[in-house]
Structure 1
Amino acid sequence: MKHEIFETNIGLLIIFTMIAISIGGLVEITPLFYINDTVEDVRRADGTQAVRPYTPLEQRGRDIYTREGCYNCHSQMIRPFRDEALRYGHYSLAAESQYDHPFQWGSKRTGPDLARVGGKYSDTWHVKHLVRPKSVVPESIMPNYPWLLENDLDYSDIQARMEALKKVGVPYSLTQEEYDSNVKQFGKAVADKLDITRADENLVSEAQDNNRDGIPSRITEMDALVAYLQMLGTLIDFKAHDEHEFIKAR
């Protein structure tokens, strides 16, 4: 059959295009009916879930990360290839993005991937880097973000933000039953931070305890953004897991 037949007959082209799309869709969708889950069940030694939702301060930091468009130049998804693992670390798991709305996988890297940036640099380094990137990375083309250190963090609506995320499946708690469930799933220390009724208190406490921006008298947007960056990739201890454990979920 000559290709010209399809090029000159729009009806036939549409029919065969739909057939091709249907076959491709079935190839992608059908395997999902034969697996139990697409998210890895990663647990700590005590049996609690390793991956948790963001704390109120981290969530506000993530909001600022999104607001400033950081995802345009930085991805948060390490592909399962040798060169990526050598540079960034263990490839990303689906479990690590299960509470992201929206996810930050990205498709372009002007800057390095940030999936495992947590703990790689000090808080002071992050502050200097965000205020003036060239001060720590001379060849950087990243713009300056000095206002993060100047702006006080607005967390007046943090409870409303957490309630909105709860509606799309993030296990923040409002009731005693939900809190008890989080204690069982994540442990009491984490469950306390996921309590919406104590969101303001938890945010202030975390910011003051860590003082990531170096300004103890204020809670700035820098506090929140650095808190978010410093937790990325730190929830799972890959050394405590067998590599084959994760391959089964791929």
Structure 2
Amino acid sequence: MKEFFHRKIERNAIGFVLAIVGVASIGGIVEIAPLFTIGETVEEAPDMRLYTPLELAGRNIYIREGCYACHSQMIRTLRDEVERYGPFSLAVESQYDHPMLWGSKRTGPDLARLGDKYSDAWHVAHLINPRDVVPESVMPKYGWLMRNELKYDDLGLHLAAQRKVGVPYTDDMIANARWDAYGQANPDSSYAQGVAERYGEATNIRVFDGEPARITEMDALVAYLQILGRLTDAAHQTAAAAAEE
């Protein structure tokens, strides 16, 4: 009976096309329908702040080096994940991530709550040679990040591109992007205060790689790693509210 039904459909070109359209439409509706309720899905986070130019540069390096292939940035609602990594990830935490880096591959641990978990010096040592701080690590070395000076002259263009896809960078942020990147990694410079004024007093402003004489790719990547999970406190507030119920 099934064989007869398939033969009948396959020999009827119009019927076969309509069947394909019908099945494809079902899949499309399943994927598209949730977008109509996206406003109800994404939580509100009044304290949400933007990536600074230096942190955005670090994120670009993170993507360039393929770090997302071994590290996810999404903590599931499973008990063992929450106990190991912290509060489960919320949609609002990734609203300014283009592209998003949730991932599912975990050769290394999830990094969604990595910010401020370790010192800058730990991150620098770990990236130069992971085995120096985690003997069993299989992570590659990234020592060249310490040698490569960061190209930050075009960071304004990066912020402008992000604004095109909905990230609310202001004209002032875009115009001062290169100097804000320099100032964030050089707290003794005259540009450091501008970073705090544009991105908030809680912004990490310090020499991330331990060498104040120049701004390196290591500065940028460590600055990015140190802000993961700290752009908003929404997840911790949600966890605290759930614990009180």
Using the size of structure 2 for normalisation, the TM-score is 0.81
**Displacement of 1:240:** 3.5
Deviations 1:148-184 (A, max 9, x none): 0011111011111111111111111116xxxxxxxxx
CA distance in 2, matches of 1:36, 1:65: 29
Question: Is 1:221 matched with 2:199?
Answer: no
Question: Is 1:205 matched with 2:183?
Answer: yes
**Match of 1:5?**
5
CA distance in 2, matches of 1:79, 1:200: 36
CA distance in 1, matches of 2:174, 2:223: 19
**Displacement of 1:61:** 0.6
Does structure 1 retain, via aligned residues, the 8 Å contact 2:49–2:232?
A: no
Q: 1:34 to 1:94 in 2, by over 3 A?
A: closer
Does structure 2 retain, via aligned residues, the 8 Å contact 1:6–1:13?
A: no
**Match of 1:248?**
none
Question: Is 1:62 matched with 2:52?
Answer: no
Off by >2 Å, runs of 4+ in structure 1 = 3-38, 235-245
CA distance in 1, matches of 2:20, 2:55: 45
Q: 1:51 to 1:138 in 2, by over 3 A?
A: same
Code of the residue aligned with 2:183 in structure 1: it is: S
**Displacement of 1:32:** 4.1
Does structure 2 retain, via aligned residues, the 8 Å contact 1:75–1:109?
A: yes
Question: Is 1:168 matched with 2:165?
Answer: yes
3-state DSSP of counterpart to 2:186? helix
**Match of 2:132?**
135
**Displacement of 1:9:** 5.0
Deviations 1:88-135 (A, max 9, x none): 111111111111111111131111111111111111110011000111
Q: What percentage of residue pairs aligned between the two structures are identical?
A: 55
**Displacement of 1:205:** 1.2
How many residue pairs match? The answer is 220
Q: 1:14 to 1:82 in 2, by over 3 A?
A: farther
**Displacement of 1:2:** 1.4
Using the size of structure 1 for normalisation, the TM-score is 0.79
**Displacement of 1:86:** 1.4
Matches within 5 A, 1:98-113: 98-113=95-110
**Displacement of 1:31:** 4.6
**Displacement of 1:4:** 6.2
| Unaligned runs of at least 5 residues, structure 2 | 188-205
Code of the residue aligned with 2:2 in structure 1: it is: K
**Displacement of 1:50:** 2.0
Q: 1:4 to 1:127 in 2, by over 3 A?
A: farther
**Displacement of 1:38:** 3.0
Question: Is 1:156 matched with 2:145?
Answer: no
| Unaligned runs of at least 5 residues, structure 1 | 43-48, 176-194, 246-250
Code of the residue aligned with 2:24 in structure 1: it is: I
Question: Is 1:83 matched with 2:84?
Answer: no
Deviations 1:163-208 (A, max 9, x none): 1111111111116xxxxxxxxxxxxxxxxxxx11221221111101
**Match of 1:115?**
112
Q: 1:16 to 1:230 in 2, by over 3 A?
A: same
Q: 1:239 to 1:30 in 2, by over 3 A?
A: closer
**Displacement of 1:215:** 0.7
